[in-house]
Amino acid sequence: MHWHSIPVTVIRSPRARKVWLKMRSCRGIEVVLPYRVSTSEVPSILERHQRWLMERLAELKDRGEAPGQNPLPDAIRLEFLDRRFSVRYEEGPRAELHAGEEDLRVFLPCGKVGDGATLLQMWLVGLGKTHLIAYCLELAAQYGVPIGGVQVRNQGGRWGSCSARFTISLNAKLLFLSPPLVRNVVLHEFCHVEHRNHGSAFKAALRTLDPLTDAYEGQMRNAWENLPAWTKWRRGDGTD
Ligand SMILES: [Zn+2]
């Protein structure tokens, strides 16, 4: 596959100061343009960066995540649990996942890549419920935070949230992060019990609980961008 055949999306951003290029399995090539740059310049921008585009495509291919490539992984490493799972795929009459201690067997009807992603997401949420809920309750007890409950889902867009009744929702994708980052997300939600916004009082409270909060901000953003494609797959994304 050549990068010429990958779909290109142009995004206009009032915040961008310069041109940004991204290539991801789920969205193809994205070009983020500041308002002062005309869309007519996009073809020449791509030509100028073709070396980067080729390198990025090779990198994604290595991970089995090039646009249009099978997005299902051969291995899954969950840093929070310090565990690695190998994944094997077999053809079967219906989509099924059998989970062992270190290996997963996924049975899929021919061509049903999306079903595989859905099964893996369900497995991830199950593992998240086992480990993240206990972890969150333990931290709540340790810090004396009166949370209303904890739930784990595979939501898009955010690592966690805190409802008006102080129910904390944690993203199962947190299992891909290191323990200090997961702790920071949980403490972030704890601070919402007292502060409902991200104002200066909230920030001060979170920095008191976790002095490394500011240092983690960039890492959290990177971690989200680098999550495996299958964790973000939604029915209708066109891989099926
Ligand atoms: Zn928040």
pLDDT tens, residue by residue, 162-185:
999 999 999 999 999 999 999 999
Interval between CA 197 and ligand 1 midpoint (Å): 7
Given a contact cutoff of 8 angstroms between Cβ atoms, the answer to whether 113 and 65 are in contact is no
Interval between CA 164 and ligand 1 midpoint (Å): 12
Interval between CA 222 and ligand 1 midpoint (Å): 18
Q: What tens digit of pLDDT does each residue of 70-128 get?
A: 668 989 999 999 999 999 988 888 999 999 999 999 998 765 667 888 999 999 999 99
Answer yes or no: do 21 and 101 share one domain. no
Interval between CA 196 and ligand 1 midpoint (Å): 8
Answer yes or no: do 53 and 99 share one domain. no
Residue 164 in tokens? 């008006």
Answer yes or no: do 44 and 99 share one domain. no
Answer yes or no: do 144 and 219 share one domain. yes
> pLDDT band at 237, cuts 50/70/90?
low
Interval between CA 206 and ligand 1 midpoint (Å): 10
Residue 236: per-residue pLDDT: 55
Whether 240 has a pLDDT exceeding 60, the answer reads: no
Q: What tens digit of pLDDT does each residue of 181-193 get?
A: 999 999 999 999 9
Interval between CA 199 and ligand 1 midpoint (Å): 10
Answer yes or no: do 132 and 221 share one domain. yes
DSSP one-letter code for 240 = -
Interval between CA 70 and ligand 1 midpoint (Å): 34
**CATH number where 211 lies:** 3.30.2010.10
CA angle 22, 33, 238 (to 5 degrees): 45
Q: Give the domain extent around 97.
A: 75-124
